[in-house]
Structures are given as C-alpha cells and as structure tokens.
Amino acid sequence: MIKNILIPLDGSDHCKAALDYAVWLAQGLNGTLFGQHVIDTISIEGAFFHDISGSLGFEPYLDFSAKMREILDERGKIILADFAEVCAKKNIRHQTFLDMGLIANEICERAKVADLVVIGHRGVNEGFSTGLLGTTAESIARKCPRPILVSTKQFKPIERPLLAYDGSQRASSAMESAAEFCSLLKLPLTVLTIAKEEAQAQTVLQRAKGYLGSYAIVVTYESARGFPEQKIIEHLVNLNHDLLFIGAYGHRRIIEMVLGSTTEYVMRNAPCPVLMNR
C-alpha cells in the first residue's frame, strides 16, 4: 500500500518535476508527503579546507565552515517552507525533515519510514554530473530499501504505464506495485516480457495473468524477442508509455555485474519516469 511518499528536495528543476509527480501521486492515492532536504556535509567539509588555508595566511576565512553551515541551513528551511506551502494549497498531508550528512545515505535512511521515494533524474549539481543519470540518483537507486520513482524533467500526468516482467522475484515485486498503482488510480496496464522463445514468453505472461487477474484493471499482454533493455526502450518510445515499472535486477546477475544491468540502462535512457522495485 503506497501511502507515505518521500520526496527529497534540493531546489533544482528536476526536483520541481519530481515534486509535481509526488503531489499528483499523493492526491490520487490519498497519501502523505514527506519533504526532506539534506545539508550535504561534503559542502561543509569542503569549507574546512578554506579554514586550513586561512589559518596558514592564504585566506581570512577562519570561521568559513560555520558560516557555510548557517547559509545551507537557512536555504534548506526555505526549500522546505516552499514545499509545505505547495502541500497546504493542495490540501495534502505532509511533514518536513531537515537532515545533515551524505545526501544519498540520508535519503535512504529516511526512506525506511516511506512506501515510495520520488527523486529527480538529476539534482542541483547536474552541470557537474556525467552520463544521463545524476550520481546521487544512481546511488539512491542502488541502495534505497524502498521502491523509487525516478522522474523526468517535465511533469506529465500518467495515463499509459508499462510493466517489464521477466518472472524474477524483483519483477514480481514491481508487478505488485503496478497492480496497486493502476487499481487505485484506475489506469490500464501493459505487461511486456522479452524472451528467446515465444513459448517461454507465454509461460512468463501466464504467471502475470494469474496474479493480475484478481485486480479490476484492464491489462494488455505483449511479448518480444531481442535484448531486453533495447526492447523496453523501444516500447516506451514507440507506444508512448509514460511510466515504467521494473525490478532492480533480472536473471542475468553475472552478466549485469560485468556489463551493467538492464535496469540501469533503462533508467539512463527511458523517456518517461521509472518506478523500480527491489
């Protein structure tokens, strides 16, 4: 049951879109939003080196780290106040948390009291990130104990979700989330499986039918052959799906350790939000 939704806040454009998705979900699911801002200790520890240089006579900033913490604390309070104002206008139950530490670690720790974590694809430092997924988002995706929804930079109400299902335990967990999500929000669901043989695909889809048959949702079942990561992206793009449910890993764990997982590839290349289950 998705009732408590954690939304980390940093003031970035990606974060604003993530908040739009979190608000949309909270309204549709009658949930509570937990707004969290993390004061990054790396920022303050970086200021410590300014203190060192100041003590050696290079810069006159002996109290720089204390001032930096004060500034970051005030900025966090403003971000959380803006979040609370948005929730109040939408009549959404909410709580705010101002934490300090390593950003990904603090988010994962706070996630323990949530049912879902909604994060932006990138954060406030996106200009310094490499690849298509921000380093903080990638770290959270790897460590978070709860399902996470990685949003796109632009919000769009969800109408056509897709479930990538391969029969694995984590894919089954993603199917549970998809079933609840679509049932409560009255959305249709497409289930896609990729297999080498059609008979194998139908066996996997039959499991999905057995589970989803008890839910009052309209489900379409599809199969494809090829590389799972490529076929998933093709379906998202060609059929205009606007949300993907996926498990953290599939069956090919050894290959994933060497080449990178299907999930990671999809998260980096998906044109829509991705909701990932462990």
Q: pLDDT tens digits, residue range 42-73?
A: 766 654 444 444 444 445 444 557 788 888 89
Token output for 126: 């996106």
* C-beta of residue 151 within 8 angstroms of C-beta of residue 17: yes
**Distance between CA atoms of residues 138 and 120, nearest Å:** 11
**Confidence (pTM):** 0.85
SS (H, E, C) 102-144: CHHHHHHHHHHHCCEEEEECCCCCHHHCCCCCCHHHHHHHHHC
Lowest mean pLDDT among 115-124, 129-138, 199-208: 129-138
Phi and psi, residue 272, nearest 5° = -135, 170
What pLDDT was estimated at residue 209?
Answer: 97
Average pLDDT over residues 129-135: 49
What pLDDT was estimated at residue 13?
Answer: 87
Phi and psi, residue 7, nearest 5° = -125, 105
Amino acid at 59: E
Is the pLDDT at 255 greater than 60? The verdict is no
Is the pLDDT at 226 greater than 70? The verdict is yes
144 versus 33: the higher-pLDDT residue is 33
Token output for 261: 């997982």
What pLDDT was estimated at residue 123?
Answer: 46
The domain made up of 161-277 has a fold known as Rossmann fold (3.40.50)
Query: How would residue 142 be classed by pLDDT, with cut points 50, 70 and 90?
Result: confident
Query: How would residue 126 be classed by pLDDT, with cut points 50, 70 and 90?
Result: very low
- Strand order from edge to edge, sheet including 148-151: 93-101, 32-40, 4-8, 116-120, 148-151, 274-277, 243-247, 161-164, 189-194, 219-224
Q: Which residues contact 236 (CB under 8 A, 6 or more apart)?
A: 162, 244, 270, 271, 272
Alpha carbon distances (Å) from 12 to 46, 119, 122, 123, 139: 21, 11, 8, 6, 18
Query: How would residue 121 be classed by pLDDT, with cut points 50, 70 and 90?
Result: confident
The model's pLDDT over 197-206, given as tens digits with 9 standing for 90+, comes to: 999 999 999 9
What pLDDT was estimated at residue 211?
Answer: 97
Token output for 7: 């939304």
Find where tokens 């049951």 sit.
1
Is the pLDDT at 272 greater than 80? The verdict is yes
What pLDDT was estimated at residue 43?
Answer: 66
Percent of the chain with pLDDT over 70: 83
The number of residues making up the chain comes to 278
Query: How would residue 257 be classed by pLDDT, with cut points 50, 70 and 90?
Result: very low
Is the pLDDT at 129 greater than 60? The verdict is no
Domain 4-151 = CATH 3.40.50.620: yes
Q: Start-end ranges of CATH 3.40.50.620 in the chain? A: 4-151, 161-277
- Asked whether the CA dihedral 134, 84, 2, 203 is positive or negative, the reply is negative
